Amino acid sequence: MQPAMEKDFYQTLDRECLAEFKDRGSRFIAYAFPVVSADQFKARLQGLKKEHPKAVHHCFAYRIGLDGNNFRSSDDGEPAGTAGKPILGQIDSRELVDTAIIVVRYFGGTLLGVPGLINAYKTAAALALQVTPVMQRQVEELYQIEFDYTKMNDVMMILRQYNCSIIEQKAQLFCSIKAGIPKGRLQEVLYKLDNLHDVQVVPVK
């Protein structure tokens, strides 16, 4: 998968949706949802385990962040490679990030075998993604902008003009803003901010 950092835009899910797939009595309920941290994902997984206490498996995969390195998949007791990887494959085939899918399985009494399980988890994940709206977002670079209060209007005008995200803002006599600047407009924004007197702009590591 190409890291999203090499692009100016990335795709993620707009909201949570679910879909269900049945095979020989077993039910596979797939929940697809946006996620921005492992802790947020764990909280949703625990919630679904409470919601479905009689399910035999809660298999999942997620990919978080734009560098392509933060991902995980779990077969949760199913034969190795039959659940987590097929689910992750569906996320990656659509080039989604900040995305998770949990597939809850209720066993129907008939063993599906390795090919059957791979197909079931893959299909359930694909169905969930088909009904979940996808949104495109700009890849942003984080910068800290510090300036005197008198420059607030000038700074905000530039940030709004280029659709920058305001992540943190402290407004006193001396102001500080942590902003996400769209990667594709980065040089223009930095040039305009640098042209303002007494405005410091530093990248956030």
Kindly report, residue by residue over 62-91, the tens digit of the pLDDT: 999 988 899 999 999 999 999 999 999 999
- Using the predicted structure, report yes or no on whether residue 4 has a pLDDT greater than 90: no
Beta strands in 5-98 (DSSP E): 9-13, 17-23, 26-34, 57-64, 70-74
In this predicted structure, which of 24-28, 49-53, 186-190, 201-205 has the lowest mean pLDDT?
A: 201-205
In this predicted structure, which of 49-58, 63-72, 114-123 has the lowest mean pLDDT?
A: 63-72
Does residue 171 sit in helix, strand or coil? coil
For the segment 114-130, the average pLDDT, to the nearest whole number, is 98
- Using the predicted structure, report yes or no on whether residue 127 has a pLDDT greater than 50: yes
pLDDT exceeding 90 applies to what percent of the chain? 89
Q: What's residue 181's pLDDT?
A: 95
* 130 CB-near residues (< 8 Å, 6+ apart): 19
Burial code of 158-196, b = ≥16 C-beta within 10 A, e = fewer? bbeebebeeeeeeeeeebebebbbbbebbeebbebbeee
Q: What's residue 3's pLDDT?
A: 47
Cβ-defined contacts of 189-192 (< 8 Å, 24+): 189/158, 189/159, 189/162, 189/164, 190/143, 192/158
Give which of 40, 30, 47 is closest to 65, Cα–Cα.
40
Q: What's residue 6's pLDDT?
A: 64
For residue 130, name the pLDDT band (cuts at 50, 70, 90). very high
pLDDT tens per residue, range 133-157: 999 998 999 999 999 999 999 999 9
For the segment 112-120, the average pLDDT, to the nearest whole number, is 98
For residue 2, name the pLDDT band (cuts at 50, 70, 90). very low
How many whole angstroms separate alpha carbon 46 and alpha carbon 52? 10
Amino acid at position 36, single letter? V
* 196 CB-near residues (< 8 Å, 6+ apart): 147, 151, 154, 155, 158
For the segment 90-114, the average pLDDT, to the nearest whole number, is 97
